[in-house]
Chain A
Amino acid sequence: MKSQNSDMGLAYLMGFVLLVVTGWVYWDYYRPEWKEYQSEFRSMIAERFGEERAQQIPLGLQQIWVPELNRVDRCVTCHLGVEWEGMEEAPNPFRAHPSGILEKHTLIQYGCTVCHGGQGFATDAESAHATSSELHWEDPLLYKEIGQSLQVNDPTALLEIKCNICHRYDAYTEGAEYINLAKEIVSQRRCQLCHKINGQGALIGPDLTYAGDLSPEHYDYTNVPGKEAVFNWHLVHFRNPKDVSPQSVMPNFNFGPRETQALAMLVMSWKRANMPASYIPPPNLTPPAPPADPATEPAAQ
């Protein structure tokens, strides 16, 4: 029979391809992106603090599991320096977290993504930061990439949105300068004369209490230049409401870029907090001791 030899040839060929595939899958398994970061971090620690301390660094996938928040954050697989003293000035992903805020929001109790956004499950940078619109993750890392794509005044301030999900009833939240500014504007400009906010106010304009929960399809983007995104809609809207919805009766307050970003962030933060009650702080109703002066206020780093 003719085919007998070609059959064995085919079998060997397929077997070889299968072997290559197996080899490739193993190769892929032993060389994940995070291993490079881990070895980089080890050599950095060895260089700065000696080989002995480098030996203490845990190896392999790291995660913070917070059952109360139903979150698994694997960010610390690469961001190994989060709690290392002396790494405050190190380049990312190894930089230590500013320590003050971690005292009240411990890593074990809160994890990372509840404040920063991003995809905690993921173990590669692109999926974890989730800033690409190709990725199916509605909660991107609120950091530079997102801020730059939205051309906001201060990209790094965006994560204050997350603070206000729990701190919405605070009059003043330490560290959340943009949110504080926006809240000040809300009370100065008397937004509640037309809008219901936190359950109080009139209903001439839309109820904004849970405006942050509205899905992107709720907004009309026909008059919005640039990215079709809720945040962008708010930015353009606060610049001049009639630009976006010509029939709107909302007056134009002539807000600058700083104010529009602050207000857009505040509206986006008005979400239902799906948190255990123990995580919701009692509201801080006292304004700050020295009144915040927008001119000298440093941008959040």
Chain B
Amino acid sequence: MPAAKTIWKKLIWTWKPESEFEAGDSIVKNLLLHWFPSKVTFESLSFRYSLWLGTGSAVLFAILTLTGIVLMFLYVPSVERAYASVKDIEYAVAFGWFLRGLHRIGAHLMVFVVFVHMIRVFLTGGYKNGVAAGQNRPLNWIIGVVLLLSTLLLSFTGYLLPWDQLAYWAITVGTNIALAAPMVGEQTRFLLLGGNTIAQGALIRFYVLHCFVLPTVVLMLFAWHMWRIRKDGGLACVDQVALQQKREKTQPVKSKTYSLLGIAGTRTVHVETALVDEDRYATNSSPYLTRRLLVAILATAVLAALFAIGIEAPLEEPANPAVTSNPAKAPWYFLWLQELVADTTLRFGGFTLNGALVGGIIVPGILAGLLLMWPYLDRSPVSATGVWFGPERLRQNLVFLFIILLIVILTIVGTFMRGPYWVLYWPWETWVQLPRLF
């Protein structure tokens, strides 16, 4: 077979397999699909279990990469040119406004989707090991938390690049919180900004982090995340299927025994036929998984495109260190922290409670630490793995939801209800108009 034809065969697959073999072959032999299992359980396929949020965030990452690469040809990361080049993208480049809008809204959506993905995994106990051997879901949860933090950093570093007032002051607020960290705060901020103020040094650092370092980190962690899912035997809901089978008392059948050269006396690996592949639990990945994947990809793309058209990407006045924008707000996903900082800055007579330390370092530090350690602290039984609101995990789910609710409320207050001078406005009140030159 000519080489070109072979390569082509590795990129395409059949949508209408004639046999089990062809169905499996189209997944296993395909360059794009080989990381999927050839069979997939109905529960894993369903929208109601996973909500397909992980796929959504991966699709958003792809959209962001594609639009980002085009934007890299147009954007100039210099203090003198950055703002003007964004204006050019907005007004003079063909489809530039759409490209920028899609990139911006894609980033916001990705932060949101990854965050909701984490909530989903927590509420379903998806970080828990099930019954299959060799599982290490807690590790994959930790990778996921690092991915969430990387996503936040990616978005945060991108926030500075337009070099307008919104960008400049959001990054000022964000990086000033780092100052409150004991011992290392000042050094951390200096390292991040390449100086003590947000200037060219900060812009080029944020640019390189945004366009190269963080995407690479996310891509590698993403690969690891996916690989771990396969190693863990698929989504956690698969373990529910296995548990169900155990309850039905069908013992796993030993099918083959491998041993090293047939003489190793130490450990042999028993590969048991995966009974979850039974027809009543599972189906062929081609075409059922690939089809649903198509739906998820298209749905994410449609959502992002519609948002990009409907919501205009803001671009304020050029960054001006001499004029603080009012109100100066961090990006929305950090506004619950800024709100917390503002609310915990309290004065009792001569004593001042440092809000930046409480709201910017201690609270998020404890929350991040708890997130990372939680799989090891959760002592609930295996039966709570991979099921929404497992009754054995009721209390921790409620506490988790309560914390999420607080974060959401603080975010909403910070985003929509804080007007000029950080005054609290109700949604029906109009914000005070700030004076202008003319």
**Using a CB–CB distance below 8 Å, which chain A residues touch chain B?**
1, 3-4, 7-8, 10-11, 14-15, 17-18, 21, 24-25, 29, 61, 63, 70, 72, 74, 121-123, 127, 133, 136-138, 140, 142, 146, 149-150, 215-217, 219, 221, 227-231, 268
With A14-B302, A121-B88 as known contacts, state yes or no: A1 contacts B283, CB within 8 Å: yes
How far apart sit A7 and B436, CA to CA, in the bound complex (Å)? Answer: 54
Taking CB atoms, residues of chain A closer than 8 Å to B184 are none
Taking CB atoms, residues of chain A closer than 8 Å to B92 are 61, 63, 74, 121, 123
Taking CB atoms, residues of chain A closer than 8 Å to B288 are 1, 3-4, 7
With A216-B436, A228-B435, A229-B436 as known contacts, state yes or no: A21 contacts B294, CB within 8 Å: no
Taking CB atoms, residues of chain A closer than 8 Å to B409 are none
Whether A11 lies near B298 (C-beta < 8 A) is: yes
- Point out the residue from A127, A146, A150, A221 that lies within 8 Å of B435, measured CB to CB: A221
Within 8 A of A (CB), among B268-296: 283, 287-288, 291-292, 294-295
Interface residues on B, range: 35 or more
Q: Does B190 contact A (CB under 8 A)?
A: no
Taking CB atoms, residues of chain A closer than 8 Å to B42 are 1
With A1-B42, A228-B435 as known contacts, state yes or no: A7 contacts B299, CB within 8 Å: no
Taking CB atoms, residues of chain A closer than 8 Å to B94 are 29
With A14-B298, A21-B306, A230-B438 as known contacts, state yes or no: A215 contacts B323, CB within 8 Å: yes
Whether A7 lies near B291 (C-beta < 8 A) is: yes
Whether A21 lies near B436 (C-beta < 8 A) is: no
- Point out the residue from B295, B305, B322 that lies within 8 Å of A10, measured CB to CB: B295
How far apart sit A249 and B295, CA to CA, in the bound complex (Å)? Answer: 74
Whether A3 lies near B435 (C-beta < 8 A) is: no
- How near does chain B come to A26, taking the closest CB pair, in angstroms? 9
Residue of A at shortest CB range from B316? A136
Whether A230 lies near B437 (C-beta < 8 A) is: yes
How far apart sit A72 and B94, CA to CA, in the bound complex (Å)? Answer: 17
29 contacts between A and B (CB under 8 A): A1-B288, A7-B291, A7-B292, A10-B298, A11-B295, A14-B295, A14-B302, A18-B305, A21-B302, A25-B309, A29-B94, A70-B80, A72-B84, A121-B90, A121-B91, A123-B91, A127-B91, A133-B433, A136-B164, A136-B316, A136-B317, A142-B438, A146-B438, A150-B438, A217-B434, A219-B435, A228-B434, A229-B436, A231-B437
With A136-B317, A216-B437 as known contacts, state yes or no: A3 contacts B95, CB within 8 Å: no
Within 8 A of A (CB), among B301-349: 301-302, 305-306, 309, 314-317, 322-323, 326
Residue of B at shortest CB range from A137? B317
How far apart sit A150 and B436, CA to CA, in the bound complex (Å)? Answer: 12
**Using a CB–CB distance below 8 Å, which chain B residues touch chain A?**
42, 45, 80, 84, 87-88, 90-92, 94-95, 98, 164-165, 283, 287-288, 291-292, 294-295, 298-299, 301-302, 305-306, 309, 314-317, 322-323, 326, 433-438
With A4-B291, A121-B88, A228-B435 as known contacts, state yes or no: A21 contacts B317, CB within 8 Å: no
Taking CB atoms, residues of chain B closer than 8 Å to A229 are 435-438
Taking CB atoms, residues of chain A closer than 8 Å to B95 are 25, 29
Whether A133 lies near B306 (C-beta < 8 A) is: no
With A1-B288, A11-B295, A122-B91 as known contacts, state yes or no: A231 contacts B438, CB within 8 Å: yes
Whether A18 lies near B298 (C-beta < 8 A) is: yes
Residue of A at shortest CB range from B81? A70
- How near does chain B come to A113, taking the closest CB pair, in angstroms? 13
How far apart sit A25 and B94, CA to CA, in the bound complex (Å)? Answer: 10
Taking CB atoms, residues of chain A closer than 8 Å to B84 are 70, 72, 121
- How near does chain A come to B140, taking the closest CB pair, in angstroms? 27
How far apart sit A229 and B434, CA to CA, in the bound complex (Å)? Answer: 9
Residue of A at shortest CB range from B88? A121
Whether B309 lies near A21 (C-beta < 8 A) is: yes
Q: Please provide the 4 A-B residue pairs with the shortest distance between their CB atoms, ordered closest to farther.
A: A14-B298, A216-B435, A121-B87, A136-B316
How far apart sit A15 and B164, CA to CA, in the bound complex (Å)? Answer: 36
With A215-B323, A229-B435 as known contacts, state yes or no: A24 contacts B295, CB within 8 Å: no
Residue of A at shortest CB range from B15? A8
Taking CB atoms, residues of chain B closer than 8 Å to A4 are 287-288, 291
Taking CB atoms, residues of chain B closer than 8 Å to A11 are 291, 294-295, 298
How far apart sit A219 and B435, CA to CA, in the bound complex (Å)? Answer: 9
Whether A230 lies near B295 (C-beta < 8 A) is: no
Whether B291 lies near A15 (C-beta < 8 A) is: no
How far apart sit A140 and B92, CA to CA, in the bound complex (Å)? Answer: 20
Most chain A CB within a 10 A radius of its CB, from B88, B305, B326, B436:
B436
Whether A7 lies near B302 (C-beta < 8 A) is: no
With A15-B298, A136-B317 as known contacts, state yes or no: A230 contacts B435, CB within 8 Å: yes
- How near does chain B come to A260, taking the closest CB pair, in angstroms? 15
Most chain B CB within a 10 A radius of its CB, from A1, A14, A142, A228:
A14
Whether A17 lies near B88 (C-beta < 8 A) is: no
How far apart sit A109 and B426, CA to CA, in the bound complex (Å)? Answer: 51
Whether A18 lies near B302 (C-beta < 8 A) is: yes
